[in-house]
Chain A
Amino acid sequence: MHYPQSLQELINTFNSFPGVGPKTAQRLAFYLISLPGEEVEKMARAMVKAKKRLRYCSRCFSFTEEEQCNICSDTGRNSFTICVVQHPRDVLVMEKTGQFKGKYHVLHGALSPVEGVGPEELNIPRLLERIKNEGVKEVIIATNPNVEGDATASYLSRQIKPLGVRVTRIAFGLPVGGDLEYADELTLGRALEGRIELE
């Protein structure tokens, strides 16, 4: 049996979302059409509104509705330290720690030649400009702890160090509050290599 065209279109739309397979797409579509009309319209409006209003911050490339995001325009924050992350959602995660008072720079990805992502596809040239223009003293690299994130960190370090700026990488470690026995070999191995002297 074929679904009516509009339903099939809706299913296909959901199916194109990341992490959504055909079955979930179908469930979501059926759920959506079971809702009252105004609920659906509210959702559609939220989507269109977000898409229309949001843009990248002209300095750090995180999401904002203004020219600059609220972190970049916050004069109370330390602008001599920049934390480099891969994705806008990583900014939120870092902010949750409440421990970082500097500024951010979002790359929107990591180096991956297989997928055709080189330094030009990431916001690296803009980062180098910022370092030169904003009197940055330290760059903290918080790219993902995987092969691509590590290579990106290595690339950044080679570009930034010659500018006389301190470059650091966040530590590889164990999840706090967990048990050692549940750590996988790779994480534990790197935690061991990055061990620190006790005072």
Chain B
Amino acid sequence: MYLENIILHNYRNYGDINFTPSPNINYIYGENAQGKTNLLESIYYLLTAHSFKTKNEYELVKWGGSYLRIKGKVWVKGDISNINIYFSNNKEKKILVNGKEVKRDSFFSMFPVVIFHPEDLLMIKEGPLLRRKFLNREITRMYTRYWKYLQQYYRVLRQRNSLLKDQAVKRKDLESWDEILCFYGSKVVYLRMKFLNKLDKYFKEIHGTFTNNKEDVRLYYKSCVNLEEVTQVDKTGKDKITEKEIYNQFFNLLKDKQEEEIKKRYTMIGPQVEDFNVYINNKNIKKYASQGQQRTAVLSLKIALFNFLEENNKFSILLLDDVFSELDEKRKRAVLDFVEDKGLQCFITSYEKKVIPAEKNSFAVYKLDGGGLVNENSGKFN
């Protein structure tokens, strides 16, 4: 998959821009506050109709403007798609793919894109909320049914919690919600475990490359149910997580917690409180790793995601925002080698030009200055 062209109108500091990137590596450098991240954000927005920077989409509309429009041409497996997104200040939003309107939910997994940006580090440093968001977003991309299960789960949870808020809650009333809670809850937990188990394989591989196999990493899903007990060896000798077992454990756990839940007045267990951890050499990265190690791990995680998507026939574009700060020379080199070897379309931003070694002459290099983008290979102004 690659982006052939993107046209922005009233987008943040850009106003109007028409950018035809290289199908390979695009290296964009410029001083701070020139709009490097905004450019990557616009590409991400074109492909997902979501921003990775803000929840408040009004911010995306150029100051003083009343709407924004982003258009783009994307090639996926030999077919071209014309994407057209319109967003106005009065909340109207339209997504057209080849002239046909597409709903936001289904659009989200149509054009996979993987972004690494400095704030992703918070995913490791902070509480579980960002990690759950990461899971929910990425699993939806991989298994579209996940989002529907999650929505249903939250609907049950809202009902059940509302019941628990009632002081005179009756046990039999509560129990009638348990089956349906476990029904959707076990599906959510199952897909999360399955996803992380698979992602773990790619994560280990790529992190090994980046660190010369000096660091052994592992992803671990922290569930209310016991992972070992829900994993069974199947006929071919492989470990297999069983959804039914997750359901049973979840259901029994609800029974055990009933008294406590009635006292505390909310549902204490389930996907809404679960989390995952990253381990380096058997130590939790959150507590026992340096900033540089954490950064590399997040980067490995994102690239693992890219490889995972690719192996499932979902080819994506890689966006690396300010990826090189805090990485040592070896790791910088490993990242550049990876993107070059893959032959994928990639957008890298940096405040300096000197990171690129002289022999990497296949990179398209752009200088971003005052909202304008200059192609240094051709001297063309976009």
Contact = CB atoms under 8 A, between A and B. Distances in A.
B59 interface: no
Contacts of A112: 159
Contacts of B152: 147, 186
Given A147-B155, A147-B156, A151-B159, A111 B148 contact: no
B341 interface: no
A148 interface: yes
B176 A151 contact: yes
B159 A158 contact: no
Contacts of B160: 113
Contact of A113 (B166, B172, B180): B166
Contacts of A113: 159-160, 162-163, 166, 173
B179 to A, nearest CB: 5
Interface in A32-86: none
B172 A158 contact: yes
B148 A185 contact: yes
Contacts of A185: 144-145, 148
Judged by DSSP, the binding face of B is: helix
Nearest to A159: B172
B381 interface: no
A8 interface: no
Q: Which of B149, B176, B179 has most A Cβ within 10 Å?
A: B176
Interface string B252-269: 000000000000000000
B134 interface: no
Given A112-B159, A113-B159, A114-B158, A151 B148 contact: no
Which of the four size classes fits the interface of chain B? 20 to 34
Contact of A148 (B148, B149, B159, B173): B159
A118 B152 CA distance: 20
Contact of B162 (A114, A150, A159, A184): A114
A189 B159 contact: no
A189 B145 contact: yes
A110 to B, nearest CB: 10
Contacts of B239: none
Nearest to A149: B180
Nearest to A186: B148
B173 A118 contact: yes
A179 B199 CA distance: 34
Nearest to B176: A155
Contacts of B177: 151, 154
A102 interface: no
Given A185-B144, A186-B148, A189-B145, A114 B159 contact: yes
A173 interface: no
Interface in A144-199: 147-148, 150-152, 154-155, 158-159, 184-186, 189
Nearest to A150: B180
Interface in B131-166: 144-145, 148-149, 152, 155-156, 158-160, 162-163, 166
A111 B158 contact: no
A88 interface: no
Interface string A83-123: 00000000000000000000000000001111000110000
A58 B159 CA distance: 30
A155 B175 CA distance: 8
Given A118-B173, A158-B175, A158-B176, A186 B155 contact: no
Interface of B: 144-145, 148-149, 152, 155-156, 158-160, 162-163, 166, 172-173, 175-180, 183
13 contacts: A113-B160, A113-B162, A147-B152, A147-B155, A147-B159, A147-B180, A150-B183, A151-B159, A151-B177, A154-B179, A158-B175, A186-B145, A186-B149
Interface of A: 111-114, 118-119, 147-148, 150-152, 154-155, 158-159, 184-186, 189
Given A113-B160, A151-B180, A189-B145, 5 more contacts: A147-B159, A154-B177, A155-B172, A184-B148, A186-B145
Pairs of residues from A and B, 9 with the lowest C-beta to C-beta distance, nearest first: A155-B176, A185-B145, A113-B163, A113-B162, A154-B176, A114-B162, A150-B180, A147-B155, A154-B179
